Chain A
Amino acid sequence: MRLEPIPSRSLVRTFGWPAGAVLATVVFASLLVLTAGASPFNVFALVAKGAAGSRFALFETLTRATPLIFTGLAVAVAFRARLWNIGAEGQLYVGAVVTVVLGTGALPLPAAILIPLVMLAVAAAGALLLLGPATLKTRFGVDEVVTTLLLNFIVILFVSMLLEGVLKDPMGLGWPQSERVVAEAQLPRLARGMRLHFGFVLALAAALATWVVMKKTAFGYEMRAVGHNAEAARFAGIPVNRVLMKTALLSGGLAALAGFSEVAGLKGNLTLDLSPGFGYSGIVVAMLAMLNPLGVVAAAIFVAGIFVGADAMSRTAAVPSYIADVLVATALLTMVTAIMLTRYRVRWR
């Protein structure tokens, strides 16, 4: 079989294939639900209800979407320039560590100064972490996929070491957790009785800012050029390596802010279970959004809804909440296939 580019796409094709991808994902998940011995209709209703069935559910979904927007943006930015940053998970934890180091009383400053300062430091730390693999890529030709993946494991062990050492909360009853950040470093809640916090607003602002950078600046253009065809970009006089470095700084910084927002906005302290794979889910979010920064917001809310909804569902139905992870991974594969099929026609001969 061969793939032929389609010069002018019809509406049916543009929306038909993605709809087909959603359908395929739902059918696959339904089969799994059936094997677990439950009714798919009932389970999906429970997931929807748990994700958006009440004001509380909706706010929980947005709370869960907040770190996913940051990591989704980090991946979208990097993948756009074909910098395969799979290390958002590690960058998130580095951001969380910096938040705790600076936010637990080391700096006696008012919130209006402390929070921006911490955010800057967090973004710088995440950026530096990704600068390592990016340098290895541009200088030595080491594939960044493997190095960023391996760094995730190193960072998690490093955090574990800190939480059992210098960052350990003396009042933590022996648990590996950090002290809580001071009130001045905490992000305010957006509504009474809800967990949704100011980090969500920051995430939206970050999405908007990233969109402006990617679509309206020369740097954004260079990024896309490098991602589209690095050789051609080099011939056109674009400093490819420098663009990749700048992309790495932006991507690493964004991912680290996810850690900041989770600690300063939601958890208050750092533990080893701060992120249930937000870094990896960010890849799915970015791909579902077709690497568009504004699309990332929608995709993050969608993915968060599945996770929050599945958590709620598994409390009543006898279907493991891991169905959410399966759904999200399946959606990734079916959606990238569908997007390809909107652009190419399959010729069997």
Chain B
Amino acid sequence: MEAFDILLTASFWVAAIRIASPLIFATMGELICERVGVLNLGIEGIMMAGAFAGWVTVYAGGDLWTGVFVAALAGSAFGLLHGVLTGPFGLSQHVVGIGITLLATSLTYFTYRVVLPEVSSPPKIVPFQPLEIPLLSDIPVVGPALFNQTPLTYLAFVVVGLVAWVLYRTPLGLALRAAGENPAAVEAQGIGVAAIRIGAVMAGSALMAVGGAFLTMSAFNSFFFEMVNGRGWICIALVVFGSWRPGKALLGAILFAAFDAYQVRLQQLAGGVVPYQVFLMMPYVLSILALVLVARRASYPKALMIPYQRGER
């Protein structure tokens, strides 16, 4: 099979959409946070916590959707911590974010070892199964890729639409966007910036955690250490690449995932001529390149990374 033919196979696009799904959740989560002015570097750890929380809930006998809910809950708890520390307490978003990532990751590993003290290979759960949508899934290539995925993938696309709708079509969205552009104006409308920001960071963190849960409950069926593997940081790059717009960020995530799926297949094709690490590096290199490409015309939310204090000018 030639390198180009890969792009025409259905299995490639199925894999691309599957790889994109957790990135879509987490990118939307980060996008919400940044739109209200909060850079959430807790993303990597929150995804890890979500991956574990969802998986362990199902492992303990819970329903799959209960697992998703518990993951979201865990995520929003870390979001609350992040929101309070960087909001009313005015601490550095960088330091708090890294701190949350370290805390969430170590708490996850600790809990994993407490729950499963003596296991060599982590136990498996029955993950979400693909849900075939009749008729639509019969379309060649596009059908299986978009309409024969697990329910969580469909949810990811629904979330994008929901985020876009809330941000651009509702009064709440106006307040959210203003909190990230001109918080003083929001305060002048009698809306609390702190509350808006904390709420948004909680919601965003919940989405990140669901993105993590996708890994253990849909992409794989088990929990491994270091399984998030930098996906959180990649999502931060995707938000910039998507210029803080849900639709563009979605496209970026799918493009990125397609590239990732492509390098895996290219790796098999290259058959040991090029070291496999070169292919594994590609996603990270690509993320940096994407950042450099868009950086010049990037329109950051004006109040990003600026703590807001009431009554300050």
Give chain A's interface residues, CB within 8 Å of chain B. Answer: 1-3, 32, 35-36, 84, 86, 136, 140-143, 145-147, 149-151, 153-154, 157-158, 160-161, 164-165, 280, 283-284, 287, 318, 320, 322-323, 325-326, 328-330, 332-333, 336-337, 340, 344
Contact = CB atoms under 8 A, between A and B. Distances in A.
A145 B277 contact: no
B110 A325 contact: yes
Given A150-B233, A340-B91, A322 B85 contact: no
Contact of B102 (A2, A143, A150, A325): A325
B292 A136 contact: yes
Given A157-B280, A161-B277, A325-B102, A36 B114 contact: yes
B95 A287 contact: yes
B230 A157 contact: no
B114 A146 contact: no
B309 A3 contact: yes
18 contacts: A2-B310, A3-B88, A136-B288, A142-B291, A153-B230, A161-B275, A164-B275, A283-B102, A284-B99, A318-B117, A320-B114, A323-B110, A325-B106, A329-B103, A329-B106, A333-B100, A336-B91, A344-B90
A322 B292 contact: no
B109 A149 contact: no
B215 interface: no
Contacts of B102: 280, 283-284, 325, 328-329, 332
B165 interface: no
Contacts of B296: 140-141
Contacts of A36: 114
A2 B312 CA distance: 10
Contacts of B94: 84, 145
B105 to A, nearest CB: 8
Nearest to B117: A318
B135 interface: no
Nearest to A159: B277
A336 B275 contact: no
B89 interface: yes
B53 to A, nearest CB: 15
B295 interface: yes
Interface centre among B81, B240, B281 (most CB of A within 10 A): B281
Q: Which secondary structure dominates chain B's binding surface?
A: helix
A138 B133 CA distance: 50
Contact of A157 (B98, B107, B281, B291): B281
Given A146-B237, A157-B281, A340-B90, A320 B292 contact: no
B116 to A, nearest CB: 10
Interface of B: 39, 41, 81, 85, 88-92, 94-96, 98-100, 102-103, 105-107, 109-110, 113-114, 117, 194, 229-230, 233-234, 236-237, 240, 275, 277-278, 280-281, 284-285, 287-288, 291-292, 295-296, 298, 309-311
Contact of A320 (B109, B284, B288): B109
Given A280-B102, A332-B102, A340-B91, A154 B284 contact: yes
B230 A158 contact: no
B288 A150 contact: yes
Given A284-B99, A322-B109, 15 more contacts: A140-B292, A149-B230, A153-B229, A153-B284, A158-B277, A165-B275, A280-B102, A287-B95, A320-B113, A322-B110, A325-B105, A329-B99, A329-B106, A330-B103, A340-B91
Contact of A150 (B110, B117, B237): B237
Contacts of A32: 110
A271 B240 CA distance: 35
B12 to A, nearest CB: 23
Contact of B291 (A146, A153, A161, A323): A146
A279 to B, nearest CB: 11
Contact of A142 (B41, B292, B310): B292
Contact of B110 (A3, A136, A284, A320): A320
Contacts of A330: 103
